[in-house]
A and B are shown apart, each in its own frame.
Chain A
């Protein structure tokens, strides 16, 4: 006998699953559909066109916003992965006083409202600039560097959550063997741990990258005169004539990010299976 559901209940659950998937994906499909519509974003559909795609490909403000987001996401995820590796090593491999406090600290960016965090960084940077102006006459100002700093903070817990499970299963004896053979900690990391951790590092990088590329709340307070893609998108939403173009870019980004996410997840599972015999003891 099937333990968890009768035949009727099972069909009900299946139907519900299909309906929910439809609810989740239909709005996204609608977005993609209208990106090829030659009229504006409403029924009746006018005709098939690529012109919105051509328009955005030649819109310099839009392209530079995308470029800024790419820069911010690249730098912030590299730093976040580096700090995430260090924190994961500390949490998995080391014993030290205040470990639980450290753990609470590194995971707390998961629950801080980004609105509050963005504001807090705005206050910090503005106060710091005021101090600098008063003492040295220079200032940093807001911009991409401030967004990068903020995105590193919120990405750190996600990188740790991605790296820690693999590190836990990675046998200490491999590192100890390298150490016994005279390798420095630095060399041990680059020659032994890094190649084994690579799948986790790559997927941590991808997660941090997508998080940063899409992040609006923090960036909106810190962008100054350099809007990243979400900040630019948000500002342009008030201009109805821009909407079809924005829908077109959005469709591209949506498709790319779904493909990237699925690829990262599949890659992670495949490599975990492949290295399975090297992991654990």
Chain B
């Protein structure tokens, strides 16, 4: 037979080569370039130092000048608050849809998820319009004479509060999904058994349902924490100087400051943190859960 069997090695190599080449060239290679840049093995800008040096790394990790390390911990704190809030708010939604609704549960799930599939920037813009000192909330308060136009509620926008509110808003729809999936796959007979054995609903929840949904909770947590820790768009739009985060520092190194070497160090550090998080929490994350 002259034609290669469909399962043959050559055919497999042919199928693999496309995606493999694309990702090696445009995903792995660029990250390696950043790594090379961070130690000065690569220089593109005329201002770059011409020697291989770990200066940027030690400047970043050394305690004395570590404004970046401080910003990093600030980002961690904000991401933690946002992730926990979002998971706590999404859990009842996932529980309700998975265990309490019989008809149309997928329709209701889509109602929750749909906002996530619209433009991120537009959802942030909506809040900028709402929270601004001349925005919807404040102008409504002026209109109702609750607040004087000279004294808008300042902390509504350009604050850490605004950053956290908007990030929570953005991520809730996405996080309801893994929680829903883990509860929806729950074996109902376990709940019946608990009931038959005389456990109250509350006890059943605490001893059966909740422990079984923990992997879903962990996945949900990772789904918010990982993207928010590198967030820079929301702080730019509603964060002001108080909401300036680690991601903003990275962006500034590459744009305004043109200090690509330090920027590469910060970017690589962030990537390392994400990789560690995925190594620790990755086993909870069934990547299929991304799909409804």
Nearest B residue to A159 via CB reads: B19
Residues of A with C-beta under 8 A to B110:
262, 265
Stretch of A13-21, A50-58, A273-281 at the chain-chain interface = A13-21
Residues facing B in A84-111 (CB within 8 A) are 84, 86-87, 89-90, 93-96, 102, 105-111
A239 beta carbon closer than 8 Å to chain B: no
* Cβ A126 vs Cβ B44 within 8 A: yes
Q: Contact size class for B?
A: 35 or more
Residues of B with C-beta under 8 A to A67:
none
Given known contacts A3-B188, A221-B254, is B226 in contact with A31 (CB within 8 Å)? no
* Cβ A43 vs Cβ B23 within 8 A: no
**Can you list 26 A-B contacts (CB < 8 A)?**
A3-B201, A3-B204, A4-B201, A5-B99, A10-B100, A13-B100, A17-B97, A42-B136, A83-B18, A86-B16, A102-B16, A106-B19, A113-B230, A113-B270, A116-B34, A116-B268, A119-B263, A120-B34, A156-B23, A214-B119, A216-B120, A217-B233, A246-B125, A247-B129, A254-B119, A257-B119
* Cβ B270 vs Cβ A127 within 8 A: no
* Cβ A124 vs Cβ B263 within 8 A: no
- Chain A positions within 8 Å of B, measured between CB atoms, are 1, 3-6, 9-10, 13-14, 16-17, 20-21, 23-25, 27-28, 30-31, 34, 40-44, 82-84, 86-87, 89-90, 93-96, 102, 105-117, 119-124, 126-127, 130, 149-150, 152-153, 156-158, 161-162, 165, 175, 179, 184-185, 188, 210, 213-214, 216-217, 221, 230, 233-234, 237, 243, 246-247, 250, 253-254, 257-258, 261-262, 265, 269
* Cβ A110 vs Cβ B22 within 8 A: no
A43 is contacted by which of B120, B140, B226 (Cβ under 8 Å)? B140
Inter-chain contact count A-B, CB under 8 Å? 265
> Which interface residue of B115, B172, B229 has the most chain A CB atoms within 10 A?
B115
* Cβ B118 vs Cβ A162 within 8 A: no
- Chain B positions within 8 Å of A, measured between CB atoms, are 3, 6-7, 9, 11-12, 15-16, 18-20, 22-23, 26-31, 33-34, 37, 42, 44, 89, 92-93, 95-97, 99-100, 106, 108, 110-112, 114-115, 117-123, 125-130, 132, 134-136, 138-140, 142-143, 169, 172-173, 188, 191-192, 195, 201, 204-205, 209, 226-227, 229-230, 232-233, 237, 247, 250-251, 254, 260, 263-264, 267-268, 270-271, 274, 278, 287-288, 290-292
* Cβ B274 vs Cβ A113 within 8 A: yes
